[in-house]
Amino acid sequence: MTSAMILAAGRGERMRPLTNVTPKPLLKVGGKPLLQYHIENLAQTGIEYIVINHVHLGKLIEDYFGNGKKFGVSIHYSAEGDTPLETGGGIKLALPILRSESFIVVNADIWTDYDFNKLPRKLDGLAHLVLVANPPHHLEGDLCLSGDRIKNKTENYLTYSGIGVYKAELFSDYKQVTFPLTSILRPAIAKQRVSGEFYSGRWVDVGTPERLSLLNKELTR
């Protein structure tokens, strides 16, 4: 695992009007852009090769982070044009740039103190997902965890944190161009080929102006 991808192609509809002129990954919390936290955390993990996808105001992201040299990493960009390819499609498009059999994937619009060093360097299956407790705005959860295996249908649902490790093999044979990660994850989960872990530390889905404001207050007091 020598590379990582940060998913930054969302339009940030729920963040309007803030995202009318600023892409969501560049919105600041604690004095710096959300995206910068992930870049710095990945660099501390020893990941030096990072791919960032984008759609909405993506040129601003490229202008801000450039080639990544000032952050101690090498940043490459996967521009998706005017129409987002969703999470799965965005990763599939970037596979030739990622140049790795397995890689870390992080959603740009989360904030966490999760230590990426805890992620497995070798996968027992096709993916490894970090799950968290369901936040108030997503009480239904996404997936379940039984031991170290992700399950599709049981009780005690948890929320996917937006942090995971994936094998390129998971995407390579999928024929669709635009698709969510769940389209390929759920069949792999059914075959017990997706491992997972529960993280109980600090994690925030920074999806609305209200949650952005609350996080800013927390980080600056």
Q: What are the tens digits of pLDDT across the range 15-48? A: 777 667 788 899 899 889 999 999 999 999 999 9
What is the rounded CA–CA span in Å between residue 142 and residue 189? 12
pTM of structure: 0.94
CA 67 remoteness from chain centre: 20
**Mind listing the pLDDT tens digit for each residue in 53-92?**
999 788 999 999 999 999 999 999 999 988 889 999 999 9
Does some domain include residue 66?
yes
pLDDT grade, residue 209 (50/70/90)? confident
Does some domain include residue 200?
yes
**Mind listing the pLDDT tens digit for each residue in 127-186?**
999 999 999 988 989 999 999 999 987 777 999 999 999 999 999 888 899 999 999 999
What is the domain-level CATH number for residue 7? 3.90.550.10
> For residue 61, what pLDDT is reported?
95
CA 116 remoteness from chain centre: 12
For residue 19, give the nearest of 206, 152, 151, 216 by alpha carbon. Answer: 206
Question: Which residues form the domain of 94?
Answer: 3-216
Does some domain include residue 195?
yes
CB of 142 closer than 8 Å to CB of 157 = yes
pLDDT grade, residue 202 (50/70/90)? very high
CB of 73 closer than 8 Å to CB of 50 = yes
Split into its structural domains, the chain has a count of: 1
Does some domain include residue 221?
no
pLDDT grade, residue 220 (50/70/90)? confident
